[in-house]
Structure 1
Amino acid sequence: MGQVDKRSITLSPELAQAVDDVVAAGEYASASEVIRDALRQWKDRRDLLGYTVEELRKLVREGIDSGPAQDGQPIMERLRAKYAKMAAARGFEE
């Protein structure tokens, strides 16, 4: 494993029990292995699916700059009516 940086962490009773359970079931050799795997998965998810703070700020700015929010209900009603009319014109029924 190379150089390690030893840390002490505090877990809720539920998380501690979950760690103990998977070690007892033989899924992992130790609690450290469970935590390392969980951290790797968290990092992968964050790297692949997450946004940087700068990206989030940009998205917030785009939302603010796009203007006031519109009520979705009237928009959905217009869309439903439009597509119901199109379906009826093609001989389809709801």
Structure 2
Amino acid sequence: MGPAQQRSITISSELADEVDEAVASGEYPSASEVVVDALRQWKERRDNFGYSLEELKRLVQEGIDSGPAEEGAPFMERLRRKYAAMEK
């Protein structure tokens, strides 16, 4: 990581209370560390998964629209039989 740069952000009073509680409980040494940890986790999630909120919503809807789930083992057995028959 490069040199530290100062930023000013505005957060809701509810989030500010959460930050204050994390520091008061000793979970973090400072409010800056709470924010840095949150940003690290955000970056990791973004880098590892790479999905935007819109993409996730679309994928969830695609799953809903695809109909009810099937049991894996019977489904795979049907596929095996299908492709075995195609080989003959």
TM-score interval, smaller chain: 0.5 to 0.7
State the distance in 2 between where 1:13 and 1:35 align.
15
Q: Quick one: distance in 1 between partners of 2:24 and 2:31?
A: 10
User: Following the alignment from structure 1 to structure 2, what is the Cα–Cα distance between the partners of residues 51 and 9?
Assistant: 24
1:49 CA drift (Å): 1.1
**Structure 1 residue 3 displacement after superposition:** 1.9
Please, what TM-score do these two structures have when normalized by structure 1? Answer: 0.54
| 2-structure distance, mates of 1:14, 1:41 | 20
Q: Which residue of 1 aligns with 2:30?
A: 30
Could you tell me which runs of 5 or more consecutive residues in structure 2 were left unpaired when the two chains were aligned. Answer: 56-61, 75-88
Measured in 2, the distance between the counterparts of 1:30 and 1:48 equals 27
SS in 2 for 1:8: coil
Write out the 4+ residue segments of structure 1 that deviate beyond 3 Å after TM superposition: none
Structure 1 unmatched ranges of 5 or more: 57-62, 64-68, 84-94
CA–CA distance in structure 2, aligned partners of residues 16 and 4 of structure 1: 22
Supply the distance in 1 between the matched residues of 2:31 and 2:4 (Cα, whole angstroms).
15
| Number of residue pairs matched by the alignment | 62
Who is 1:48 aligned against? 48
Q: In the alignment, which residue of structure 1 is the partner of 2:15?
A: 15
Identical counterparts, % of pairs: 58
Shift of 1:5: 1.0
Distance 1:13 1:28 in 2: 19
